[in-house]
Amino acid sequence: MKKKTEKTWKAWTMLEVRYLKRHFEDETIHEIALHLKRRYESVRLKAFYLGLRKVHQWTGQELDFIRDNFRTMSDKEIGDRLNLTAAQIKGKRAYLGWRKYRNKVKN
């Protein structure tokens, strides 16, 4: 006979939610999870359900680097240099209209 597994989750307290909201921008999810003694995935999902998002604040140096190099470097290479993901680089390029290749006009 299989042994029943114990409940693996616990409800979030108001103090935990308050801590998560106050520290979400300044601490990593891993740091918050350690402080609250919760699993990384639990903290990540709770933040998602609360509508918390980490938004990267682009610096002028980062934008200059992307503008100067996006035609010769891949988004991954640029991201590696700036400690960002390729998806972040691609999204910012798309938002700014910086295309890698020009669309060819048919005659």
Place of tokens 């680089």: 89
Average pLDDT, integer, range 59-63? 96
pTM of the model: 0.56
Average pLDDT, integer, range 47-56? 90
58/66 Cα distance (integer angstroms)? 11
Of 54-58, 65-69, 93-97, the range with the lowest mean pLDDT is 54-58
Structure confidence by residue, pLDDT tens digits, 74-90: 999 999 999 999 999 99
Average pLDDT, integer, range 6-25? 90
**Per-residue confidence band for 67, with pLDDT thresholds at 50, 70 and 90:** very high
Q: What is the pLDDT of residue 101?
A: 74
Give the domain ranges of the chain.
14-49, 60-96
63/27 Cα distance (integer angstroms)? 24
